[in-house]
């Protein structure tokens, strides 16, 4: 059993947690919902739903632009959400938190702004084969349009990045490393602090994809010395349509804006324009106001429950699932790293992942099937697709049992 599971608090009441998620009262095909697709998107607690409803029914107005009561209230709630996200990742200042439309938007922001700031032909960006497509395609666009070179590093069979292999990918032309803090397929934690040390020793910046890591453990951007860190709210028990980019203040100050419009400007005249300071420089137009408020409510909910308590509970579920799925001789599991998150990718012998997902869905068990927006990693694993079961704060050991039972029935049906 891993350390997080051993340190799990007996006070963690999963039944009380489940009561806070209205959707878990649903039945699917006449069966109780067992939701194990959290790595794709998590369900929302009442605290988030109520906070967003309150924002829409009592205090909705555009932010930053008005002087009337509702605008002041909406602005205060919006900026309090920024402060909540800053606390969640231990950013030195809320001004280092840029609200985006999600993780994908954050990656594109950095890619576009760094490209405009001077990355050019022959400059290099280091990526791992485990990256989500959202942390691959923006860099390919720089490759196509500007001649940037992508340097790829492998991962171990358990989804770990070897620091020596990582360092070997650097050269005097390396400008940035963009790597996952936790693979959405393998669930293994990346040694972020060591990778940041290596990148900085070579004069490069480092960006971490925290869209999975952010929900499965405590994040401290100062401790890992990240230059950029990406989050998306919908995996953090918050709404879709909003995410956040953490950036060191000096890094953000050196970057030109990503989009033009309102809010991101200082002065606009016929023959010139000057830009606002970060973070507003990167938040053109009317932001996702209600969604950002919901994002703040979601991370406050996680911090109130206890990020480490949630992680310890999830570690127990991951351990149990790995043991019980591992006992099924028709199941192949991909990745068994120590302290891995409750993200388990597997295949069932003789069955396509899409068929497996469809069959267990009829038993009320929701899992993901496909390449998980990680085609380079699928190629590395020698498969075209996998099934993925991913657990969250509200899942229970009964959910593990339901998954195992569903897989056994699937094998009996298709085998």
pLDDT tens for each residue of 245-292: 999 999 999 999 999 999 999 999 999 999 999 999 999 999 999 999
Work out the pLDDT band at 10, boundaries 50, 70, 90. Answer: low
Q: Return mean pLDDT, the chain.
A: 95
**What are the structural domains of the chain?**
3-44+307-414 (3.90.1150.10), 49-304 (3.40.640.10)
pLDDT tens for each residue of 297-333: 999 999 999 999 999 999 999 999 999 999 999 999 9
User: pTM to 2 decimals?
Assistant: 0.96
Angle at CA of residue 267, ends 262 and 269, nearest 5°: 100
pLDDT tens for each residue of 23-59: 999 999 999 999 999 999 999 999 999 999 999 999 9
Query: For the residues 183-203, what does the mean pLDDT come to?
Result: 97
Question: CA 24: distance to chain centroid?
Answer: 22
Distance CA 340, CA 342 (A): 7
2 pLDDT more than 80: no
User: What is residue 414's predicted lDDT score, i.e. its pLDDT?
Assistant: 86
Question: CA 205: distance to chain centroid?
Answer: 20
| Partners of residue 344 on adjacent β-strands | 389
Percent helix, strand and coil across the chain, each to the nearest 5: 45, 15, 40
The strand pair at 243-247 and 265-268 is best described as unpaired
User: What is residue 116's predicted lDDT score, i.e. its pLDDT?
Assistant: 87
- List the catalytic residues: 373
Distance CA 62, CA 9 (A): 43
């Amino acid at each position: 059993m891993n350390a997080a599971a051993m340190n799990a608090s007996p006070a963690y009441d999963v039944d009380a947690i489940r009561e806070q998620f209205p959707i878990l009262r649903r039945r699917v095909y006449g069966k109780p919902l067992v939701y194990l697709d959290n790595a794709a998107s998590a369900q929302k607690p009442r605290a988030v739903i109520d906070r967003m409803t309150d924002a829409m029914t009592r205090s909705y107005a555009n932010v930053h632009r008005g002087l009337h009561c509702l605008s002041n209230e909406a602005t205060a709630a919006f900026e309090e959400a920024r402060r909540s996200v800053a606390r969640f990742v231990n950013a030195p200042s809320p001004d280092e938190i840029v609200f985006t439309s999600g993780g994908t938007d954050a990656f594109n922001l950095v890619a576009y702004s760094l490209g405009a700031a001077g990355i050019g032909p022959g400059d290099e960006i280091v990526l791992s084969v485990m990256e989500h497509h959202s942390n691959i395609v923006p860099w390919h666009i720089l490759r196509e349009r500007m001649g940037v070179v992508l340097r790829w590093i492998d991962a171990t069979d358990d989804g770990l990045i070897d620091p020596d292999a990582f360092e070997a990918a650097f050269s005097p032309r390396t400008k940035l490393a963009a790597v996952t803090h936790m693979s959405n397929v393998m669930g293994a934690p990346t040694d972020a602090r060591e990778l940041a040390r290596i990148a900085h020793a070579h004069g490069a910046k480092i960006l971490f994809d925290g869209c999975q890591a952010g929900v499965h453990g405590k994040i401290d951007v100062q401790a890992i010395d990240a230059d950029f860190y990406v989050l998306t709210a919908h995996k953090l028990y918050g709404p879709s349509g909003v995410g956040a980019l953490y950036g060191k203040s000096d890094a953000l100050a050196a970057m030109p804006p990503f989009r033009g419009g309102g809010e991101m400007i200082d002065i606009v005249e016929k023959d010139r324009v000057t830009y606002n300071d970060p973070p507003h420089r990167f938040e053109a137009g009317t932001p996702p106001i209600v969604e950002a408020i919901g994002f703040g409510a979601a991370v406050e909910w996680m911090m109130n429950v206890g990020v480490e308590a949630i992680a310890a509970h999830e570690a127990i579920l991951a351990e149990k699932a790995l043991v019980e799925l591992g006992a099924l001789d028709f199941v192949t599991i991909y990745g068994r790293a120590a302290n891995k998150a409750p993200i388990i990718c597997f295949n069932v012998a003789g069955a396509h992942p899409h068929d497996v997902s469809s069959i267990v869905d009829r038993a009320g068990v929701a899992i993901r099937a496909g390449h998980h927006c990680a085609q380079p990693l699928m190629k590395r694993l020698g498969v075209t697709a996998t099934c993925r079961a991913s657990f969250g704060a509200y899942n229970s050991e009964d959910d593990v049992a339901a998954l195992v039972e569903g897989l056994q029935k699937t094998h009996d049906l298709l085998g």
